[in-house]
Amino acid sequence: MITGLLSLPPEWILVAVAAVSILLFALGVPLVLAFGLWVVAFHLVVPGFPMANMSITAFGELESFTYIAIPLFILVGDLFRKADVSSDIIAFSRACLGWLPGSTGNTVIGTSAIFSAITGSNAATTASVGQALYPSMEEEGYEPGYASATIAAGGTIGSVLPPSIMLIVYGVTFGVSIPDLFIAGIVPGLAMLIILVGINTFISEKNEYGVDTDAYSFDARDVAETAWVAKIGLGAIVILLGGIFAGIFSPAESASVAVLYVLVTAFVTGRLRSGRKMVRAGYTSLVLVGVLMPIIVIAVLVQQNLAYLDLQDAVANAILSLGSDWLVIIALIGVVLIAGLALASIPNVVLTAPLLTPAALEIGLDPVTWGVIFILGDAIGFITPPYGLNLYIISGLTDIDYMVVAYRVLPYLGGLLALLFVLLAVPEVNVLARSGDMFYQSTLSVPSPWGSGAISSSVRRSITWIQPSSFFAGQTSAARTLWSRSSSLMKYACG
């Protein structure tokens, strides 16, 4: 039966398997299995892609030293949670923002920014901050749906504000300088914080939400004192960013030092002296890495296959055919938001970003600026109806109808969309963004989407000998380029 199916035209098989994969994903089947089915089918029906290419690609992708930064950053966040310093961060956020109208709402946003920046998870931040501060917001008279929406919106900031795990994933996957991405993420991340605080302050003042802010006042001494108490979390951020920006550490080395710092300070202050908790934090990080890395490999394989089909050029040409830069910007925003609300962050970065990159570069964006904008759009997807993972999480946590939360989040969504539009239309406003030395470092057997024409070491190790197939007849630009380079790469791959 399988032989009979494989005798069908390859185009029919791939379309049918793609439909099945999408259906399985929509039904909740894990992404690795749903899209892994399509990857296996592609390698079975396309003569130019032997099955060995999957293992070679996986090895070439995972041997990257820079990926070590991801589990270490996750471990910093896990140790942060195990040390139970949430009350310290809340006190610091209240000292900084509690004097404004909507005191507790602003505290929620500030706390979420710090939590999500350290832990790297929108969803985990929404759940953690929701459990800690939603009861206080309810007691202070916040409308339940609005309180939930505020918590969900606050969880988006950490994807962009450094140190962000998603910026690291983007930098590692596409060979973009991680320090450059961190620097470029400062202005948009702070802008997100200011926009959300501004919206909450206005709405809270209008509706008289929260306690009388006369009970709080901005006191620099209070800020300094609460910052010292919150030294475990804030100190980790200083080490992570300071070591990288100063050129002292690589991202992986900086995360290693931050892990040691959190362990030592948490032990000395009595926050984390249980060996079982320390081991548990490490175990949680290993589990998350075990989930994330297969997703990265499958996503890279899917992108490799789509690039072979020349889908990058097709998508770019379709977007650019709109003619006007304004229409291109609107199209980019639409695609980024749809992908952000439908896909998890990592597969979204690996699958969707390369498809949109040619169009983004065509309207004058550089890789660093585009990377930050894409991650911002991905983060906004977490509060974009009709899905929006943060909205579902806080709805389940507070037992408030999803549609109520989705309606109340619209002011925050509008503010963040305005920021996304401004960054796309006038990228110069991000004054800290700059393009570093880079080249595309994925396992795609195609030229760099940044247009450098360079093929990185990981690509060279992952390319297998691919003969022109009758299926594609070498007609795509990616395939034609690959044929011209395959003879020299063959010697390296078979080395």
Return the minimum-mean-pLDDT range out of 74-78, 243-247, 322-326, 471-475.
471-475
Q: Is the dihedral of CA 430, 433, 435, 440 positive or negative?
A: negative
Report whether 402 contacts 392 (CB < 8 A): yes
Distance CA 247, CA 228 (A): 25
Q: What percent of the chain has pLDDT over 90?
A: 11
Report whether 309 contacts 38 (CB < 8 A): no
Distance CA 80, CA 72 (A): 12
pLDDT in the model for residue 194: 94
The helix (run of H) or strand (run of E) holding residue 5 is helix 2-6
DSSP label of 385: T
If phi > 0 it is left, if psi is from -120 to 50 it is alpha, else beta; for residue 319 that is alpha
DSSP label of 476: S
Burial 211-233 (b: 16+ CB within 10 A, else e): eebeebeeeeebeeebbebbbbb
pLDDT in the model for residue 476: 36
Q: Taking residues 255-264, what's their average pLDDT?
A: 86
**44-48: long-range contacts at Cβ-Cβ below 8 A with a sequence spacing of 24 or more?**
44/6, 45/6, 45/10, 45/13, 45/14, 45/471, 46/10, 46/305, 46/308, 46/469, 46/471, 46/472, 47/467, 47/469, 47/470, 47/471, 48/308, 48/466, 48/467, 48/468, 48/469, 48/471, 48/472, 48/479
Distance CA 152, CA 162 (A): 19
pLDDT band at 216 (very low <50, low <70, confident <90, very high): low
pLDDT in the model for residue 4: 57
Report whether 443 contacts 462 (CB < 8 A): yes
Instruction: List, as one string, the DSSP characters of 388-412.
Output: -HHHHHHHHHHT--HHHHHHHTHHH
Q: Taking residues 423-435, what's their average pLDDT?
A: 82
Residue 134 reports pLDDT greater than 80? yes
Residue 462 reports pLDDT greater than 50? no
- Side-chain-side CA neighbours of 106 within 13 Å: the count stands at 28
Report whether 489 contacts 460 (CB < 8 A): yes
pLDDT in the model for residue 495: 36
Instruction: Supply angle C-alpha 344, 346, 350, rounded to 5.
Output: 120
Distance CA 106, CA 96 (A): 9
DSSP label of 1: -
Q: What's the Cα-to-Cα distance from 458 to each of 33, 163, 237, 331, 450, rounded to whole Å? A: 25, 25, 31, 32, 16
Distance CA 187, CA 179 (A): 14
Residue 15 reports pLDDT greater than 70? yes
Question: 3-class DSSP state for residue 471?
Answer: coil
284: its two tokens: 């949680």
Q: Taking residues 190-195, what's their average pLDDT?
A: 94
Q: What is the 3-state secondary structure (H, E, C) of 245-277?
A: HCCCCCHHHHHHHHHHHHHHHHHHCCCCCCHHH
Q: What is the pTM of this model?
A: 0.76
Residue 18 reports pLDDT greater than 90? no
pLDDT band at 127 (very low <50, low <70, confident <90, very high): confident
Q: Read off the pLDDT of residues 399-420 as tens digits, 9 standing for 90 and up.
A: 888 899 999 999 999 999 999 9
The helix (run of H) or strand (run of E) holding residue 233 is helix 231-245
Residue 240 reports pLDDT greater than 70? yes
Alpha carbon of residue 280 to chain centroid = 25
120: its two tokens: 């790297």
- How many other C-beta atoms are found inside a 10 Å radius of the C-beta of residue 248? 12
Gyration radius of the chain's alpha carbons = 23
pLDDT in the model for residue 215: 58
Question: 3-class DSSP state for residue 451?
Answer: coil
- How many other C-beta atoms are found inside a 10 Å radius of the C-beta of residue 450? 21
